[in-house]
Amino acid sequence: MGKNVTPRRLADNEAQAKARSLRISPQKLNLVAQLIRGRHVEDAVAQLSFSRKRIAKDVLKVLQSAIANAENNHNLDIDRLVVAEATVGKSLVMKRYRPRARGRAGKIMKPFSNITIRLREQEDK
């Protein structure tokens, strides 16, 4: 009389990793995510390691985590992995205020983002 096992949300040839509350706006993070969508894993790692964007280091960590998940948890072949999806989403927004002229206040929004990287093993052609 235990709990039912929830079915796996990913296909058998997929693995994923997530990062939450990255301190960057979703729009800027999406620019880095576009660099790796649809690429082979080796190309994506090279692209991120030589990128000049600050957030590329954090995206590289998430990609390496997804690669480790694919290898260790799902027994997938690393050489045939492709970045199937790299989705970016909003997280919380810190709101700050800055004093302005004539007693007014200027609003400062400090957004956070989430990223999910999903890898898929390609079939041999």
Could you identify the residue written with the tokens 């894993």? 41
Neighbours of 100 (CB within 10 A): 10
pLDDT in tens, 20-75: 999 999 999 999 999 999 999 999 999 999 999 999 999 999 999 999 999 999 99
pTM as predicted: 0.91
- Provide the pLDDT for residue 3: 86
Place of tokens 């709101």: 95
pLDDT tens track for 67-125: 999 999 999 999 999 999 999 999 999 999 999 999 999 999 999 999 999 999 998 76
Residue type, 38: G
What number of other Cβ atoms are within 10 A of residue 32's Cβ? 23
Domains detected in the chain: 16-121 (3.90.470.10)
Q: Which parts of the chain are beta strand (E)?
A: 14-22, 81-99, 105-121
Look at residues 44, 26, 52, 49 and name the one whose alpha carbon lies nearest to residue 117.
44
